[in-house]
């Protein structure tokens, strides 16, 4: 995945400013008018969508005495390293980014043609070892006209571009006044925060979470899995490498996505193992990672096929989707409504509406067509809001033009949450990109974090995908970063890309009863051993772990997750167990040194992006050196 991200970032950096390029043969619509008169204060959906109440589902077995509890007694005082660590992610070095843009400015000023720029970008991409010539040229072909149209209107310099895309890796000294904005809240006091307690044995909802299937219709058993391209396991994957590793029947622990039979087998297993599922979170990323080859029709075909798979296996179960960054073409590009004509994302939103409307009320049509988000009342006092978090994606190039609350989604979200608070509803938030992810733009994430803090008593939990790992992100009180206030569950991916076992998640959510909190009571991850499946011919799916039972947790409230995080910081075996679950016990998981441990632990703390040096300073001290 890193090769793909580096290729896309590299492509934009070497373009730098496009203001000096001739408009021919590149056509771009006028996107300078940012006026958006949409009235986001629409009346929320208010007729319960689910026509059944929750039941007493059989929860996973109760907690047992675990090795980690014994290890607490053996806790040793940590020895601080001599060097500070760096919790910030850096896909491309910021200095290299700035230098690359500056080197290209002179050539661009000379009026280089589109084809000349493509040739130079492709050559540099190959010379720097970023990727093959085919991939480098393909990235330019797919992203070129969109990125150039956006860059033509972006009134920021090279350092500001690098700062927006790379975030805190470029430091805090670079100012972007055109990209500083704040949401406003209704003049209503925040309700008092009351302590919560979760009671087992009461009715619950059993919820399936599927994410990041990444169906690859061109997956080929026996093809090269360790190819040079960003996506392998295809007949055209590069050959001639020294030690080829060949793709198995059910997938590969490499840069490979899901064969059709893997997804079919998993869905069949779910219907047999979990016939009592109440509803489904489906958090996006349906197409594969071949972003240098994709077309709109290709992605629409993948979306149609994957949707049909879900319908066939769950014909009567409500499904609540969220849109992934890979659904769009170019991947990650979601133009705000003020971008019209050929660069608009309406082609995708309209098609998603055609698929999603079988599960959603008519009231969701307006917001799905506008920006791929919606709100529905599930049951009295329980609401679900599906966000399009791709509007914070740092590789959403239109944000370089104007990042201010794209599509007014956050204003709409505040309106929905305030109405929910007024009606004493609890809210489940779903989306694709977690707001704390390093590829979520800082200013958007910062505003979202404030929204979660304001509606702390209304939002009970959040559910995302995107990272492919089995993990979580904690949200803290912005005025007291020691007080956890919310939890985001990051569901594991179905795709093995990269080094993962395929998996899905089951949640048990507090259900219909007078004292319901709407919180997650427990969750469990189900997986299968890909290596064994390829060897023996058939997957065997099994429950990998239950959070309460195997993580030795009292409950799954934010403070409990915070305590568990502290345990992983201080007890190596607790982290090692979590890391095994992180990759779903994959035998291909890489060794995790201090730098890896620092990054993962900081991820778990970071419900807000690009404040890692602030929120993870103690971790940087503790895990600062691999020596």
CA distances from 207 to 244, 277, 480, 483 (A): 41, 6, 32, 28
The answer to whether 406 touches 391, Cβ cutoff 8 Å, is yes
326 in a labelled binding site: no
Q: Which residue do the tokens 């909802």 mark?
A: 205
Six-digit token pair at 138? 């393909």
Beta bridge mates, 374? 386
DSSP 440: B
Run of H or E including 92: none
Residue among 290, 269, 271 nearest 214 (CA): 290
The answer to whether 598 touches 87, Cβ cutoff 8 Å, is yes
Separation CA 386–CA 432 (nearest Å): 9
Q: Which residue do the tokens 């994430």 mark?
A: 445
The answer to whether 144 touches 14, Cβ cutoff 8 Å, is no
Give the 3-state DSSP-derived string for 374-437, with helices as H, strands as E and coil as C. Answer: EEEEEECCEEEEECCHHHHECCCHHHHCCCCCHHHHHHHHHHHHHHHHHCCCEEEEECCCCCCC
Q: How far is CA 285 from the centre of its chain?
A: 9
Run of H or E including 477: strand 471-477
Separation CA 500–CA 485 (nearest Å): 30
Separation CA 485–CA 492 (nearest Å): 23
Six-digit token pair at 388? 């399009």
The answer to whether 229 touches 131, Cβ cutoff 8 Å, is yes
Task: For residue 562, count other CB atoms closer than 10 A to its CB.
Answer: 19
285 in a labelled binding site: yes
Beta bridge mates, 524? 506, 546
The answer to whether 397 touches 150, Cβ cutoff 8 Å, is yes
Six-digit token pair at 527? 């997986």
The answer to whether 306 touches 324, Cβ cutoff 8 Å, is no
Q: Which residue do the tokens 């309460």 mark?
A: 548
468 in a labelled binding site: yes
Q: Cα–Cα–Cα angle for 467, 470, 476, nearest 5°?
A: 80
Going across the sheet that includes 541-546, the strands are 319-321, 279-282, 204-210, 503-510, 520-528, 541-546
523 in a labelled binding site: no
Task: For residue 576, count other CB atoms closer than 10 A to its CB.
Answer: 13
Separation CA 546–CA 553 (nearest Å): 10
Residue among 195, 157, 204 nearest 179 (CA): 157
Q: Which residue do the tokens 């505040």 mark?
A: 414
Residue among 357, 336, 366, 213 nearest 283 (CA): 213
355 in a labelled binding site: no
3-state secondary structure of 506: strand
Helices 594-605 and 572-582 pack at an angle, to 10 degrees, of: 80
212 in a labelled binding site: yes
The answer to whether 613 touches 620, Cβ cutoff 8 Å, is yes
Six-digit token pair at 530? 């890909």
Residue numbers belonging to the annotated binding site? 212, 214, 285, 325, 432, 466, 468
Residue list for the binding site for Zn(2+): 212, 214, 285, 325, 432, 466, 468
């Amino acid at each position: 995945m890193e090769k793909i991200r580096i290729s896309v970032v590299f492509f934009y950096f070497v373009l730098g400013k496009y203001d000096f390029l001739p408009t021919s043969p590149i056509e771009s619509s006028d996107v300078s008018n940012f006026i958006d008169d949409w009235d986001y204060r629409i009346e929320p959906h208010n007729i319960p969508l689910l026509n059944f109440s929750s039941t007493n589902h059989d929860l996973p077995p109760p907690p047992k005495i675990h090795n980690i509890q014994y290890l607490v007694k053996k806790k040793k005082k940590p020895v601080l390293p001599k060097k500070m660590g760096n919790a910030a992610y850096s896909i491309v070095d910021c200095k290299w980014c700035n230098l690359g843009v500056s080197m290209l400015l002179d050539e661009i000023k000379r009026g280089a043609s589109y084809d000349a720029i493509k040739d130079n970008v492709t050559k540099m991409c190959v010379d720097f070892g970023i990727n093959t010539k085919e991939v480098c040229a393909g990235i330019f072909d797919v992203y070129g006209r969109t990125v150039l149209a956006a860059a033509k209107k972006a009134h920021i310099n090279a350092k500001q571009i690098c700062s927006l895309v790379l975030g805190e890796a470029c430091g805090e000294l670079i100012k972007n006044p055109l990209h500083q904005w704040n949401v406003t809240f209704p003049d209503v006091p925040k309700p008092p925060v009351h302590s919560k307690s979760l009671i087992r044995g009461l009715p619950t909802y059993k919820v399936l979470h599927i994410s990041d299937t990444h169906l690859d219709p061109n997956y080929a058993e026996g093809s090269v899995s360790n190819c040079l391209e960003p996506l392998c396991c295809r007949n055209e994957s590069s050959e001639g490498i020294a030690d080829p590793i060949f793709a198995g029947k059910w997938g590969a622990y490499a840069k490979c996505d899901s064969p059709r039979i893997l997804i079919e087998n998993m869905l069949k297993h779910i219907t047999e193992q979990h016939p009592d599922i109440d509803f489904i979170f489906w958090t996006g990323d349906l197409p594969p990672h071949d972003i240098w080859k994709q077309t709109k029709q290709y992605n629409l075909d993948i979306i149609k096929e994957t949707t049909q798979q879900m319908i066939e296996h769950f014909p009567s179960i409500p499904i609540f989707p969220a849109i992934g960054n890979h659904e769009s073409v170019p991947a990650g590009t979601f133009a705000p409504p003020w971008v019209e004509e050929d660069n608009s994302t309406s082609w995708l939103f309209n098609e998603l509406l055609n698929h999603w409307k079988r599960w959603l009320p008519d009231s969701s049509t307006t917001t799905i067509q506008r920006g791929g988000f919606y709100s529905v009342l599930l049951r009295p006092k329980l609401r679900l809001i599906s966000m399009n978090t791709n509007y914070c994606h740092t590789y959403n190039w239109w944000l370089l033009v104007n990042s201010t609350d794209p599509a007014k989604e956050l204003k709409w979200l505040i309106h929905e949450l305030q109405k929910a608070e007024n009606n004493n509803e609890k809210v489940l938030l779903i989306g694709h990109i977690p707001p704390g992810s390093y590829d979520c733009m800082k200013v958007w994430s910062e505003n979202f974090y404030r929204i979660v803090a304001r509606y702390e008593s209304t939002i009970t939990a959040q559910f995302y995908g995107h990272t492919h790992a089995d993990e979580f992100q904690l949200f803290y009180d912005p005025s007291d970063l020691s007080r956890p206030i919310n939890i985001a569950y990051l569901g594991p991916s179905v795709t093995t890309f990269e080094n993962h076992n395929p998996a899905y998640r089951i949640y048990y959510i507090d259900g219909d009863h007078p004292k319901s909190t709407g919180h997650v009571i427990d969750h469990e991850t189900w997986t299968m051993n890909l290596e064994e499946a390829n060897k023996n011919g058939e997957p065997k799916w099994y429950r990998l772990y239950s959070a309460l039972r195997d993580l030795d947790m009292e409950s799954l409230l934010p403070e409990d997750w915070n305590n568990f995080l502290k345990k992983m910081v201080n007890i190596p075996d607790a982290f090692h167990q979590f890391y095994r679950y992180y990759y779903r016990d994959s035998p291909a998981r890489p060794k995790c040194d201090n730098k890896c441990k620092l990054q993962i632990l900081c991820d778990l703390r970071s419900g807000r992006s690009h404040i890692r040096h602030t929120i993870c300073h103690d971790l940087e001290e503790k895990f600062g050196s691999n020596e």
